[in-house]
Amino acid sequence: MNFIDEVEKFTHKCWKSIFMEVHEAVVFIDSAATECLHWHTGDQGYLVLTTAGALSVHELATYNLRNVKDINDGKAVIICTSAYADFYEYIIKMIMEQNTFKSYTIITTVHYRTMNYDNSISNKEIKNYTKMKEDLQSSINYKNPMQNVSIDIIYVPIFISLLTRSLFTTPPFANLMPPIHIPEPNKIKETELYINHFVSSLESLFHHLDITEDIYSIGKCSDYIAETLKNLPAAIKRRSKLNGASGSRISLILIDRTLDLCAATSHDTSSVLSRMLCILPHLPNHTNDIAVNMNPIVCGSMIDAPFIEIPGCLATTDKSLIDILISKKQQAVLVTANHLLQNILTSKGSPKSKITTRVSVHSLEKQMYKFQDKNEIYSTLESSKQLQIIWAIVQSLKSDKNTQIELLLSIEKLVSQNVAVSRDSSSVLTQLSNIIKTRQDRKLDTENLLALLIYVYALAGTEIHFSPAQEQLLEESLSMAVYEDIKVFNESTDITNGIYQQILLLLGVTDDESAKEISIKTAKHFITMLHDIAKKREGLRNYVSLVSDPHPSEMVQYIGILEQLVKDIINPKRPKIHDLHAKSMHSSISFNLFSKSKIEHHPANNPWILIYVVGGITPEESRKVQEIISTYKTNCSITLAGSRLLNPSDIVNEILLMGIKN
């Protein structure tokens, strides 16, 4: 049984059932479902839907629905990942303001037992979305009392974006981040609902695979998810049915992202995909793909279309291309890109370029400009996806931002060395305070430096304590930086997509006194959050430290929890992993009936190990894990997954800036 093939069959089955519903229908689809479709079809989502018979496709977003008036009035299909029943009623009301459809088919990714209602309702009303359907029908009848409008609700558990043969993400749960500290009661309810939806989706996958899981977890949020899956009635029923059968087993390992924020905030971008995520903007409303401007290639010197933006992206059905971007070194990626270009150019009879001894970003760029020639239009169309990926490689590796990334990486390495060797006597915060003060001279922005501070405190953990004097200096530097940024942003007409800038502008601070007051509060909030980040590994035994032991002849290195865990799991000696909490249906320890000796169950006992990072994973982590697996001989297959792909800015937004927004 090839497990990734089975996951692919699961996603194919889900989407096939949806495609059967869209024939002669107007389709409304939300961003999370769109992202799943985007990766499933290799950036051909719209074409696949229209080929399946959809009359038109619209974005399911509240800011957009009131402006959608479709000439077709037959059937509307709504594809939605929301777990709130009242949201479906709200969006149908908005659609009906401009349209008069005769029937509605709601395709929801949320099981009826997970759907959230404002008021408590009976099990009979919950079953098969009975109450939700009645409420929706009532809203429709109120709006159009003279028209007989039918409504149907279908459950389809789409939640996976398969990026490579060993890595997938879950767009509907892109914002599932373990809290740094205990959240407010209303936030707890929201997180529980999110987790219940996630657990229900996992159960749908395991049910399709006809598989039994052994559950392990590291971190409080992961412990809660593991316990919820363990006690889910549908999961208990599935395991009971498979008990004693010769079916396959899987080891599911859940890990809190917040236990190791170093990996997510590091600017170590040996993986080209990691560098792309740091440099190029996200594709709008996507968390796992980037947007690359194809204008220079497609438009060429066209002067009649200067304002047209043609975004390319990475999503492709050829999973090996994404795997190359993750696992291969930069020069190997350039060589592969050059080989692809040569094949494209020669396929249409173009003269083959002279093969250089060393392929460079500039040589690739020069060859790409050949596609501006109108004679190459067919090559451009037939090889569009490969050209988008190659151009993304060129744009990311030649960007001016690379200088900033290299500077931040060098600071990270110095910080790691300083913290590991000097420990409590480290002067790293004093150094960072000076860097914050002189950030403009170094061409570093505050958002990047906030990511660096998260890296430092996550690395230090509770093993290393910074002096109060140094932290006071850091807080003052941060306060001044925020104050200066507020003034600059208020005076600037250039509004970027940066979350940090947008949040400071939304504060609406205009006078100098208020700006100083807000800056002081914001700096205090940052320091408090950094202290909480440092405490996240408190109580761990195996993975309390993220640095290698200092050695006179070697530089200290950061070693992430994911790396350490995978090494321990596939180590033939099978060291005891105290931090890995077993939530299996059987105890993690069973007894041999003949020898009466204890037998400990181990994740590597099963043929497939799925490691899911709650909060997101980085391409760099995936690359390092692949390297570790290749050095060990193991009989089990390891698949990585996470809420989303992360870059340092994502963590700054989710961890530090979220408090300011609230």
Query: Is 60 exceeded by the pLDDT of residue 250?
Result: yes
Please compute the mean of the pLDDT values over residues 20-43 and round it to a whole number: 96
Q: Where are the beta strands (DSSP E) in 341-444?
A: none
Instruction: Provide the phi-psi class of 285: left if phi over 0, else alpha when psi is between -120 and 50, else beta.
Output: left
Residues 58-77 have pLDDT tens digits of: 999 888 787 788 787 789 99
d(CA 284, CA 38): 12
Query: Which of 510, 511, 625 has the alpha carbon at shortest distance from 570?
Result: 625
Query: Is 50 exceeded by the pLDDT of residue 593?
Result: no
DSSP letter (8 states) at residue 116: B
CA distances from 651 to 258, 421, 623, 638 (A): 10, 27, 20, 26
pLDDT at 595: 43
Query: Which of 206, 196, 156 has the alpha carbon at shortest distance from 173?
Result: 196
Query: Is 60 exceeded by the pLDDT of residue 222?
Result: yes
Q: Which residues, other chains included, contact 83 with Cβ-Cβ below 8 Å and sequence gap of 6+?
A: 110, 114, 115, 116, 193, 194, 196, 197
The structural domains of the chain, ordered by start, are 3-158 (3.40.50.2060), 159-259+560-587+598-661 (3.40.50.1910), 281-398 (no CATH), 401-535 (no CATH)
Please compute the mean of the pLDDT values over residues 265-286 and round it to a whole number: 95
Q: Which residues, other chains included, contact 626 with Cβ-Cβ below 8 Å and sequence gap of 6+?
A: 166, 326, 327
User: How many CB atoms sit inside 10 A of residue 47's CB?
Assistant: 11
Q: How far apart are the first and last CA of the chain?
A: 47
Query: Is 90 exceeded by the pLDDT of residue 328?
Result: yes
Q: Which residues pair with 168 in a beta bridge?
A: 162, 641
pLDDT at 496: 67
Q: Which residues, other chains included, contact 607 with Cβ-Cβ below 8 Å and sequence gap of 6+?
A: 1, 3, 248, 249, 635, 636, 637
Q: How sure is the predictor about 592, in pLDDT bands with cuts at 50, 70 and 90?
A: very low
pLDDT at 596: 44
- Which helix (H) or strand (E) covers residue 643, if one does? none
pLDDT at 460: 92
Kindly state the percentage of the chain with pLDDT values over 70: 90
Helical H segments across 59-184, by residue range = 62-65, 85-96, 123-126, 130-143
Cβ contact 6:58 at 8 Å: no
Strand 249-256 and strand 212-218: pairing?
Answer: parallel
Strand order in the sheet with 161-164: 161-164, 167-169, 637-642, 608-614, 249-256, 212-218, 581-582
d(CA 384, CA 378): 9
Query: Is 50 exceeded by the pLDDT of residue 267?
Result: yes
d(CA 86, CA 82): 10
The chain-wide mean pLDDT, for the chain, equals 88
Helices 85-96 & 130-143 angle (0-180, nearest 10): 20
Which of 73-77, 142-146, 547-551, 597-601 is the least confident region? 597-601
d(CA 600, CA 623): 30
Phi, psi of 106 (to 5 degrees): -100, 120
Please compute the mean of the pLDDT values over residues 363-373 and round it to a whole number: 84
pLDDT at 299: 66
pLDDT at 42: 95
CA distances from 424 to 83, 438, 472, 478, 547 (A): 47, 25, 16, 22, 15
DSSP letter (8 states) at residue 608: E
Cβ contact 252:214 at 8 Å: yes
User: How many CB atoms sit inside 10 A of residue 221's CB?
Assistant: 22
Helical H segments across 59-216, by residue range = 62-65, 85-96, 123-126, 130-143, 185-209
pLDDT at 356: 55
Q: Where are the beta strands (DSSP E) in 499-656?
A: 581-582, 589-591, 598-600, 608-614, 637-642
Query: Is 60 exceeded by the pLDDT of residue 354?
Result: no
Q: How sure is the predictor about 303, in pLDDT bands with cuts at 50, 70 and 90?
A: very low
